[in-house]
Amino acid sequence: MKNEKKLQTYILDDLRSFGKHCECFKIEKASDNGVPDIFFTTILTGAVLIETKRLDGVASRLQLIRLENLRRCGVQAFVCYSWQQWIAIKEAIGLQRCLLL
C-alpha cells in the first residue's frame, strides 16, 4: 500500500469493527512533533500507538525516539508500513482475543 492515509483508514476501520471492545482515533494534530498517528485501547491490550508509513517511507529519528520512550513507559507502540504488517501487529498483541469477550 503506497498511501499512508489509506493505510490509516483501513486500520481505523478494522479497529472500529471491534465495536464496544475497542476505543480508537486518529491523532490529527499534536502540539509536539513525532506523535504517532493512531491511538487505540482495549481491555486486553491497554494503550497502543501506531505510527503509519508508506511502504517506501521512513520513520524520522524523532518519531523513533518518541516510540521508544512510549515503550519504556509501558505503552505498546509500533511503526506500521503495510496491511500485512498490521495483521502481524494485531496477532502479536492478541487483539483478536478482544472479539471473544
Q: Which three cell numbers stand for residue 99?
A: 472479539
Residue 32, pLDDT score:
84
- Given a cut of 50, the residues of the chain with pLDDT beneath it are none
Residue 76, pLDDT score:
97
Which domains does the chain carry? 4-96 (3.40.1350.10)
Residue 96, pLDDT score:
77
Supply the mean pLDDT for the chain: 91
Q: Cα–Cα distance between 22 and 15 in angstroms, integer?
A: 7
Dihedral angle computed from the Cα positions of residues 54, 48, 90 and 63, in that order, rounded to the nearest 10 degrees? 30
pLDDT tens, position by position, 14-35: 999 998 989 999 998 777 888 9
Residue 21, pLDDT score:
87
